[in-house]
Structure 1
Amino acid sequence: MTSTLDPIREATRLLDEAWAGAESGAALSRTQLLAVNEAIGRLKRAADAVHAEVAARIARESRHELGPASLAKQQGYRNAAQLIATTTGASTGEALRLVTVGEATAPRTNLIGEALPAKFPALQETLSAGRVGAAAAGMIVAFLDRMIPKVGRDAAAEAERLLVGLAPGLSADEVRRAITRTEAHLDPDGVAPREDALRAQAGLSMFERGGMLHVNATLDPARAASVKTAIEGFVSAGFAAKHESDDPGSDRRTVAQIQADALVHLAEHGLTCLKNQTLNGATVVVRVNAADLEAGTGSGRIDGIEQPVGIDTVRRMAGGGSVIRWTCGQEGEILNWGRNRRLFSRTQRLALTERDGGCAFCGLPPSMTKAHHIEWWARDLGTTDLANGVLLCETCHHLVHDNGWVIRIDGVGIRAKVWFLPPPGTGAPPRLGGRARTERIA
């Protein structure tokens, strides 16, 4: 008579046989290592099958309608998933997956007590035989549950047989890819709507912490292809150069470090490409005292980045770009700038960035701002001077002008302070803007 535990017993026997003669894993031969690894994999898959069956039964004995008689609550847990996760050291997600797989592969009964096959019988057979583990089974169950309402039970059953035939011997990532391709074949009309949904989820966030810029991106397949291909190409070129080098050990960067270098390389190329008109004139600007740059002392600041950089880094960055010098008077005013023009010059914009640090109202980085006249050029006949200019992002530009804020500049030059005076009657206090809001300006 067969038992649910027979696959576990057989896997344990194979593990004992493979381990024979060795006191520890360090003493295993290469042949034994492979045999032990295979036996452990078989044991884990067999244990997953038994655990899924037990988890489903625990969930049934812990269902909500039992109230205080729930098995989980009697043991001091809110639900079956918490009981399983806590007692096995798994995550709640892993416990829920076990329950889901167990329920999808357990025998069923109808309303009059007649026995019915499992919801997914082909998967149940493969799982019980120890040919797939809980991770792969969980992905297959989720996929089939999603597809039944779309394509019907017959088509889903065909997909089930296909996937359980492919899954043994595949990693979880490979099973996921097989499911994705099966879904595209099974529901071709659903590909475009899924693309739209994925595109709507795309996004990128950036924040500074601990002196590092953290970049988190989620991209839909079509746009991800360009990013992934470019970064992988950079990595491949790096490995090829390392292989051809006389000293292959000289480059000790990890793949993650090379990928980071690839992102920097692509950004630098975009900023310096003369044909690129999509970045709104964005330029990396590093600010440093000329005497410090020549003497190799002090530090510099990069527009839009909080963390200061050392003088060696400033020199290295200057070597790849150009150095623009300006002369300040005793009050910090720029002595040499363009006049008789409506648009602020590049030198004036750099001076405004030195004073305002970015959007003078909300603090967005300089690359996301434009230089605006405080007294309008056309309406107020305002001049294109530093004292009549301010850096604002598009949102704050409309907010300030549309809501009646008044901008006042106290002082002259790059050490002046920018004040935003609220509309009359609001009771709000004047707001200090620019760098002076967060920095002590000498």
Structure 2
Amino acid sequence: MPTTLDAIAETVERVRAIWPGESVESLTREQMIAVNDELGRLRRLVDAGHAQVASRIARESRPELGPDSLAKEQGFRNPTALIAATGGTTTGEAARLVRVGEATEPRMTLTGEVAPARHPHVASAIASGSIGTAAASAIIAMLDRMAFRAGREATDAAEHRLCEQAPGLTLDQLNRVILQAEAVLDPAGVEPREDELRHEKALRFHHEASGAIVLTARFDPEGGAPVKAAIEAYVRQALAAAHDNPDPDASRPTIPQLQADALTRIAEHLLGCEHRDLPVEGATVVVRVSLDDLRDGTGHATIDGMDAPISISTARRMAAGVVIPCVLGNNSEILDWGRAKRLFTPAQRLALVERDQGCAKCGAPPSHTKVHHIRWWARDAGPTDLSNGILLCESCHHHIHDNGWEIRIDGIGVDAHVWFIPPIHVDPDRTPRLGGRRRYGFAA
């Protein structure tokens, strides 16, 4: 059976075959992408090997060994200090390597027998180089928290699903999926977490000597969602206005500056009736929940654009306020218009948010997206129907249309699979890449 070192050696040889050692300027674009992929895998494999060694160092440095501890023999107080110093990293990173190694290495039982790793799916994923130790650590930490609440069978299934889904996701994207997985495994734990966040909410001001007023804020999901939605809507429309009516002589404000402007305008609007022109059209907080969960008080809900799921009691409170409750299973609205209308309706957009969860290609939140025709309205005579709609951020929209990507939708409604098919110059085999809810959400 190939070892981690064998896999590292094979990957190094593949890099050398593509890039024999000349200047990086000698590589074609295709070669650069291939080398980048292999170097990414090499880095993950090296980290996997380091985690194995770190676990063994920690075992050989147990406190009960006293002066015979390996770390103390080398002049260090503990194993993480040794690993951090020799690796040129932090003790926190060293501790993560130890945790991953201990969770993915075979265990020795009290009888001296060798037992499987505590997290076998994660062990297999890091050994193959498909995920790194940062992703492995995030998955392991959540599963360990859930072990007693959810049971072994449920956590094992979640571990398998997360390890399949993690390759290709950024750590931020994976953390969003992990939050959803945790809510599925322990729906009863969502509300206590919210109570804690509610008690921690705060908004503080202080004045700097320059005259600037500095705000520091922390919100629970219920309180933060409308703030986030209103500010994002202002920024989105400000950017659209600047794009449609460019002023070459004007300096372009940054996103943080626009967000500050949004908060100022919201406060002005509240304080004086003369400020009725606040541009936050489309600032909608959508709480998504299944009809059964809403009726029975089970499970959890989500807020568009927010990473952490919320409890059903919070969803009910929010649904009674200035938000739109999107209850799955309601077919009372017309969702297909054929060629009668060019623009997708708000009802169609809500339905597509259920399927895509945001930008179907990159996972950006719904507030950053628009509904686009898969078959173009003008060029292809594409209808304004759900089967021909997709949520994309502006960047991904241009990327797809300018670079020859194709989009395929398999299935109908929330359970449909969204596929992005790369052009030949990106992937000669044109292997479809999964997007939407199936890529950036966690399905129980």
TM-score of the superposition, structure 2-length normalised?
Answer: 0.58
Per the alignment, residue 231 of structure 2 pairs with 231
Q: Which amino acid aligns with 1:51?
A: H
- Distance in structure 2 (CA, Å) of the matches to 1:267 and 1:29: 53
TM superposition shift of 1:251: 4.1
TM superposition shift of 1:273: 4.7
Partner SS for 1:222:
helix
Per the alignment, residue 82 of structure 1 pairs with 81
Query: Is the CA contact 1:140–1:160 (under 8 Å) kept in the aligned structure 2?
Result: yes
Partner SS for 1:214:
strand
TM superposition shift of 1:213: 3.3
TM superposition shift of 1:201: 2.3
TM superposition shift of 1:204: 2.6
Deviations for 1:84-137, whole angstroms, at most 9, x for unmatched residues?
222222222211111111100011111110110000111101110000011110
Q: Which amino acid aligns with 1:245?
A: N
Q: Which amino acid aligns with 1:57?
A: R
- Distance in structure 2 (CA, Å) of the matches to 1:213 and 1:80: 45
Are 1:117 and 2:149 counterparts?
no
Per the alignment, residue 328 of structure 1 pairs with none
- Kindly report which structure 2 residues correspond to 1:218-367, keeping only aligned pairs within 5 A, or say none: 218-247=218-247, 250-273=250-273
Q: Which amino acid aligns with 1:262?
A: A
Q: Which amino acid aligns with 1:142?
A: A
Cα separation, partners in 2 of 1:230 and 1:59, compared to 1, 3 Å: same
- Distance in structure 2 (CA, Å) of the matches to 1:247 and 1:40: 44
Per the alignment, residue 381 of structure 1 pairs with none
Cα separation, partners in 2 of 1:32 and 1:196, compared to 1, 3 Å: same
- Distance in structure 1 (CA, Å) of the matches to 2:67 and 2:235: 58
Per the alignment, residue 178 of structure 2 pairs with 179
Per the alignment, residue 60 of structure 2 pairs with 61
Query: Is the CA contact 1:151–1:186 (under 8 Å) kept in the aligned structure 2?
Result: yes
Query: Is the CA contact 2:4–2:45 (under 8 Å) kept in the aligned structure 1?
Result: no
Larger radius of gyration: 1
Partner SS for 2:89:
coil
Q: Which has the higher contact order (CA 8 A, sep 6+)?
A: 2
- Kindly report which structure 2 residues correspond to 1:185-204, keeping only aligned pairs within 5 A, or say none: 185-204=184-203
Cα separation, partners in 2 of 1:210 and 1:172, compared to 1, 3 Å: farther
Cα separation, partners in 2 of 1:83 and 1:264, compared to 1, 3 Å: farther
Query: Is the CA contact 2:268–2:275 (under 8 Å) kept in the aligned structure 1?
Result: no
- Distance in structure 2 (CA, Å) of the matches to 1:22 and 1:208: 56
Cα separation, partners in 2 of 1:254 and 1:8, compared to 1, 3 Å: farther
- Distance in structure 2 (CA, Å) of the matches to 1:21 and 1:75: 37
TM superposition shift of 1:28: 3.6
Query: Is the CA contact 1:242–1:248 (under 8 Å) kept in the aligned structure 2?
Result: no
Deviations for 1:340-376, whole angstroms, at most 9, x for unmatched residues?
xxxxxxxxxxxxxxxxxxxxxxxxxxxxxxxxxxxxx
TM superposition shift of 1:206: 2.9
Partner SS for 1:178:
helix
Q: Which amino acid aligns with 1:140?
A: I
- Distance in structure 1 (CA, Å) of the matches to 2:21 and 2:249: 39
TM superposition shift of 1:31: 2.0
Query: Is the CA contact 2:269–2:275 (under 8 Å) kept in the aligned structure 1?
Result: no
TM superposition shift of 1:172: 0.6
Partner SS for 1:5:
helix
Query: Is the CA contact 2:97–2:133 (under 8 Å) kept in the aligned structure 1?
Result: yes
- Distance in structure 2 (CA, Å) of the matches to 1:179 and 1:162: 10
TM superposition shift of 1:27: 4.7
Query: Is the CA contact 1:235–1:255 (under 8 Å) kept in the aligned structure 2?
Result: yes
TM superposition shift of 1:196: 1.0
Cα separation, partners in 2 of 1:210 and 1:31, compared to 1, 3 Å: farther
Query: Is the CA contact 1:106–1:124 (under 8 Å) kept in the aligned structure 2?
Result: yes
TM superposition shift of 1:22: 4.0
- Distance in structure 1 (CA, Å) of the matches to 2:93 and 2:170: 17
TM superposition shift of 1:257: 2.5
- Distance in structure 2 (CA, Å) of the matches to 1:64 and 1:273: 69
Cα separation, partners in 2 of 1:273 and 1:83, compared to 1, 3 Å: farther
Per the alignment, residue 15 of structure 1 pairs with 15
CA RMSD of aligned residues (A): 2.3
Deviations for 1:121-174, whole angstroms, at most 9, x for unmatched residues?
111011100000111100101001000111111211111111111111111111
Higher alpha-carbon deviation: 244-253 or 103-112: 244-253
Per the alignment, residue 3 of structure 1 pairs with 3
- Distance in structure 1 (CA, Å) of the matches to 2:191 and 2:92: 30
Deviations for 1:187-244, whole angstroms, at most 9, x for unmatched residues?
1222212211221222233334463433222211111111211221122112101210
TM superposition shift of 1:10: 2.4
Query: Is the CA contact 1:49–1:128 (under 8 Å) kept in the aligned structure 2?
Result: yes
Query: Is the CA contact 2:52–2:101 (under 8 Å) kept in the aligned structure 1?
Result: yes
TM superposition shift of 1:255: 2.0
Cα separation, partners in 2 of 1:215 and 1:90, compared to 1, 3 Å: farther
Higher alpha-carbon deviation: 256-265 or 62-71: 256-265
Q: Which amino acid aligns with 1:147?
A: M
TM superposition shift of 1:44: 1.2
Query: Is the CA contact 1:62–1:73 (under 8 Å) kept in the aligned structure 2?
Result: yes
Are 1:148 and 2:147 counterparts?
yes
- Distance in structure 2 (CA, Å) of the matches to 1:208 and 1:149: 48
Cα separation, partners in 2 of 1:176 and 1:274, compared to 1, 3 Å: same
- Distance in structure 1 (CA, Å) of the matches to 2:155 and 2:11: 32
TM-score of the superposition, structure 1-length normalised?
Answer: 0.58
- Distance in structure 2 (CA, Å) of the matches to 1:128 and 1:163: 16
Partner SS for 2:4:
coil
Number of matched pairs: 275
